[in-house]
């Protein structure tokens, strides 16, 4: 008997986690949104990539990246250990598959801060688990202004980032959700709403079938 006096099955099951792929042009706010979402949701973790580049000062193996040799990385490629991988400026980067799948099997959501190609590869390998969200800037002028005010890049790099931004934005229609980041608090609220709605999807609650069968057998 339940606490309200009713007899019948009581849910004791768990849910399957969400693979939340966030993409945006540089400067549109996806990294800041990711960090804030992580701080507000204890069941959300950030995907940790594997890389062949050497650790930078202060970086921790298994926390910032999984640091491996080129031979180790190539062996993992052959073993199908990555959702997706890429070579960038002579360094390899990849998203480990087993660690991510273990997390969602345990009911934890995993955030990916990745470009459109990575999001596409992730969705192709885990279509039922992946939710893709694209973060748009209010305008390209404002995006360029944000990049300039960060003070991290030269004018040449900013021009390159702006050219890449148009390419990134051209893939917006491939995403499940699109958020215009014209107000950070509002954008964060929308991202939280997306996550919570996706958590409630029937497909993420495998216990429901047995639960309904038990109800029907009463």
Q: What is the pLDDT of residues 33-90, one digit of tens each?
A: 999 999 999 999 999 999 999 988 888 998 889 999 999 999 999 999 998 888 877 8
The predicted pLDDT at position 13 comes to 62
The predicted pLDDT at position 120 comes to 92
Q: Of 93, 54, 57, 58, nearest to 73 (Cα)?
A: 93
| Comparison of pLDDT for 10 and 78, the residue scoring more | 78
200 pLDDT tier (thresholds 50, 70, 90): very high
3 pLDDT tier (thresholds 50, 70, 90): very low
Tell me if 47 sits within 8 A of 129, measured CB to CB.
no
The predicted pLDDT at position 4 comes to 47
Q: Which structure tokens are listed for 155?
A: 């004018």
The predicted pLDDT at position 152 comes to 66
Per-residue pLDDT tens digits for 51-67: 999 988 888 998 889 99
The predicted pLDDT at position 73 comes to 97
Q: Is the pLDDT of residue 8 over 60?
A: no
DSSP three-state, residue 19: strand
Percent of the chain with pLDDT over 70: 92
Per-residue pLDDT tens digits for 107-151: 999 999 888 988 998 999 899 999 999 999 888 877 777 777 776
Sheet with 44-46, strands from edge to edge, namely 44-46, 109-113, 19-23, 130-136, 177-180
Tell me which residue has tokens 């390159």: 160
- List of domains in the chain: 19-205 (3.40.50.300)
Q: Is the pLDDT of residue 173 over 70?
A: yes
pTM of structure: 0.81
């Amino acid at each position: 008997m339940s606490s309200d006096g009713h007899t019948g099955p009581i849910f004791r099951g768990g849910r399957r986690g969400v693979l939340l792929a966030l993409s945006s042009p540089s400067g549109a706010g996806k990294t800041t949104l990711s960090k804030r979402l992580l701080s507000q949701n204890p069941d959300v973790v950030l995907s940790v990539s594997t890389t062949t580049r050497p650790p930078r000062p202060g970086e921790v193996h298994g926390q910032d990246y999984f640091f491996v040799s080129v031979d180790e990385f190539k062996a993992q490629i052959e073993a199908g250990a990555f959702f997706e991988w890429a070579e960038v400026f002579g360094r390899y980067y990849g998203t480990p598959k087993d660690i991510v799948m273990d997390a969602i099997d345990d009911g934890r959501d995993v955030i990916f801060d990745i470009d459109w190609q990575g999001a596409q590869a992730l969705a192709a390998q885990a279509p039922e688990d992946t939710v893709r969200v694209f973060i748009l800037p209010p305008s390209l002028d404002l995006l360029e202004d944000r990049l300039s005010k960060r003070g991290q890049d030269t004018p040449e790099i900013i021009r390159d980032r702006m050219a890449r931004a148009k390419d990134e934005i051209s893939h917006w229609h491939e995403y499940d959700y699109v958020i215009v980041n014209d107000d950070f608090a509002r954008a964060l609220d929308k991202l939280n709403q997306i996550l919570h709605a996706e958590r409630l999807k029937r497909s993420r609650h495998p216990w429901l079938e047995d639960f309904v069968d038990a109800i029907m057998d009463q």
